[in-house]
Structure 1
Amino acid sequence: MKRTALFLPLLAFFFVSCSTNPKQETKTSGTTTILADESFAPIVDDQLFVFESTYPRADIRLVYKAENMLVNALVADSAKVAIMSRLLSPQEAAVFEKKNIKVRKTRFAIDAVALIASKSSADSTISVQEIIDIMQGKEASRRLVFDNPNSSTVRYLKDLAKISKLPSKGVYALKTNSEVIKFVHNNSGVIGVIGINWYKQPGKELEPLIEGLRVLGVKNLPGKPGSDKFYKPSQDNLAMELYPLSRDLYIIDCQGGAGLGSGFASFLAGETGQRIVLKSGLLPDSIPPREVFIK
């Protein structure tokens, strides 16, 4: 009888220990890796900091990559969750369909591809047609500098110009958004192409350089919204669809079930995540409600 009395508490402790296993992944606990487009590092870092502060048992390892490398790693099953500015193509999605994995997508923000120049440069505006001409190799008087040849910003403007490869003149690619900011700061007469979040939240190292830069106003093609004048990538202009170079931000979850990926996606789309987006200068997918207290 005494042995039974001792055994029952031990058995109960065993089951409690198993059910609270810290290694077991849930929506708010466990360990996982999330790939993210380097173009969105400032906003993603902010979101992760608040998420892990709210849920201390969550351990997310962020790996930043250029878009092409990110998608290749996702399809190759190196990671199951990614943050990027496009959806999977039908061919890419088919890889997961064959494994009976449902791909979940959550849009959480609208970003802008920003064009920056030194304040000492004569450049303050540019039209979409001029951008297309440069991308097609027709215009060499203005030079574009990208973050990475495999980046989402390069892909975005290649799609805009309807080209499959970059021209041999007028376009240059470095490695990161921070390198673009440094290069434009030190070289008057070039136009940098970055995610607007890097300009809005540059980090302490880049803050002094940002002060010497300006964001160019962009005019759209005739007959399209934003073709009446030059618009800058403000939240209002993104909301009114007047800034021509906007793109959606998604978290793509290929886990096939509940886990930290789906938990982080819910957080990004929830009120706290949307307030972080709003504060960052990007446009939230849904504008958080504003509370007014009247005494």
Structure 2
Amino acid sequence: MKNKAIWVSISLLSLVGFQSCKEKVNTQNDTVNSGTIKFVADESCQPIVDEEAYVFEKLNPKAKPDILYRTENSALRLLLNDSVRLAILTRELNASEIKILTDRTLPPVSHRFAIDAIALIVNQASKDTLMTVSEIKKMLNGQTKTDINIVFDNPNSSLVRYLKEFSGNKDFKLKNIYAVKTNKEVIKYISQHPQAIGITGFSWLNDPDADYADAVKKVKIVAVAVKDENSKDAPNQYFKPSQTTLALKQYPLIRSLYIINSTGKMGLGAGFAYFVLGERGQRIILRSGILPDSIPQREINIKHSY
């Protein structure tokens, strides 16, 4: 955690160096703990971002972050078109994207702040509770004969991009694979259809909001094994996503969450980034059920009584 704090501090200080040469950036009257800022977040990250923003605002009553939740493609467009200068994504920017921002003399500062899992869910009535990585890839590529529907969120989402990279498939054109609109809709669909498999972010299944909490109770998470991939660590074991299996790298379907700051100033964007990456922000992630990038340490004082 100390090393993380040092790197965050260096990143924040580097923003000060750019501040003097960016008049446009200084037009917003905000500080690290006050004012307003509009930023975009991948909509699949909404549960954890909402929690972080809620606590941040409670601790900083004068701060008003305005969060736009968008698909990954839309979020990237907003960032690269200079509509926003702070983004939360499930991947780092590539070289060409970094160049676009750097050419504006607003080089992005990127940090991973959490590790999430891609969860496969089925209806409580389903008997499909175990799958291997190889079986999942075959299922997504249409190499298995099945009448089970495979459902995920928006076709422009980061989840779909992840699944395409994972399966080596450029596009999902099979009739039994289709998208709804949101992660909530995926969970609700699976809660009502026993002959279906849903793919969603793990964070949506932990402490759900009231509008879909009943649906979460009607689904169960599929355990996944990598035994067909010749795993040396766990060749014959199936794992469900949890903080433990993510930390031990036992659950295979994982993705990192990043906060990308291209504000070029020591303003509210930098303040929110520092909060998420700091001890309090990391503890919020720890309580959420997914894995923080830096696990907060606990100091225990043992007193001897004589």
TM-score, with length taken from structure 1: 0.89
SS in 2 for 1:150: coil
Task: Pick which of 95-104 and 162-171 moved more.
Answer: 162-171
The DSSP-based 3-state class of the residue aligned with 1:172 is strand
The alignment yields a C-alpha RMSD, in angstroms, of: 1.4
Secondary structure of the residue that 2:110 maps to in structure 1?
A: strand
> Which string of whole-angstrom CA distances, capped at 9 and with x for unpartnered residues, describes residues 119-163 of structure 1?
101111111112211222222414321011011111111001112
* 1:65 match: 70
Distance 1:227 1:69 in 2: 39
- Asked if residue 29 in structure 1 is aligned to residue 44 in structure 2, the reply is no
- What do residues 49-69 of structure 1 show as CA deviations (whole Å, max 9, x unaligned)? 000111111110111011111
Residues 1:54 and 2:59 aligned together? yes
Picking from 210, 217, 221, the partner of 1:211 is 217
Change (3 A) 1:200 1:226: farther
Shift of 1:102: 1.4
Q: Which residue of 1 aligns with 2:237?
A: 229
- Corresponding residue of 1:240: 248
Letter in 2 for 1:192: G
2:271 is the counterpart of 1:263: yes
Structure 2 unaligned residues grouped into runs of 5+? 1-27
Q: Which one has the largest radius of gyration?
A: 1
Q: How many Å separate the matches in 2 of 1:38 and 1:139?
A: 31
Q: Is the 8 A contact 1:137 1:167 kept in 2?
A: no
Counterparts of residues 148-187 of structure 1 (less than 5 Å): 148-187=154-193
1:286 is aligned to 294
Q: Is the 8 A contact 2:42 2:88 kept in 1?
A: yes
Question: What is the alpha-carbon distance in structure 1 between the residues aligned to residue 204 and residue 34 of structure 2?
Answer: 30
Q: Is the partner of 1:237 in helix, strand or coil? A: helix
The equivalent residue for 1:41 is 46
Structure 1 162/226 Cα, relative in aligned 2: closer, same or farther at 3 Å?
A: farther
Q: How does 1:104-115 map to 2 (within 5 A)?
A: 104-115=109-120
- % identity of equivalent residues: 41
Question: Aligned equivalents of 2:53 and 2:145: distance in 1?
Answer: 41
1:10 is matched with none
Range with bigger deviation, 159-168 or 221-230:
221-230
Q: Distance in 2 between matches of 1:235 and 1:293?
A: 26
Cα distance in 2 between the residues matched to 1:201 and 1:43: 10
Shift of 1:293: 4.5
Contact 1:37 1:84 in 2 (8 A): yes
- What is the CA–CA distance in structure 1 between the aligned matches of 2:99 and 2:162, rounded to whole Å? 23
Question: Does the Cα contact within 8 Å between 1:115 and 1:193 map onto a contact in 2?
Answer: yes
Contact preservation (8 Å) 1:226, 1:241: no
Find the aligned partners of 2:301 and 2:149 in 1 and give their Cα distance: 51
Contact 1:140 1:169 in 2 (8 A): no
Following superposition, the deviation at residue 268 of structure 1 comes to: 0.7
Asked if the contact 1:226/1:244 (under 8 Å) is kept, the reply is no
Q: 1:29 Cα shift?
A: 1.1
The whole-number CA distance in structure 2 between the counterparts of 1:209 and 1:140 is 28
Matched-pair contact (CA < 8 Å) for 1:67–1:151: yes
Structure 1 unaligned spans of 5+: 1-22
Question: Relative to structure 1, is the Cα distance of residues 93 and 125 closer, same or farther in structure 2, using a 3 angstrom cutoff?
Answer: same
Whether the 8 Å contact between 1:140 and 1:170 is mirrored in structure 2 is: no
* Aligned equivalents of 1:284, 1:85: Cα separation in 2: 14
Letter in 1 for 2:141: Q
Do the aligned partners of 1:123 and 1:189 also contact (CA within 8 Å) in 2? no
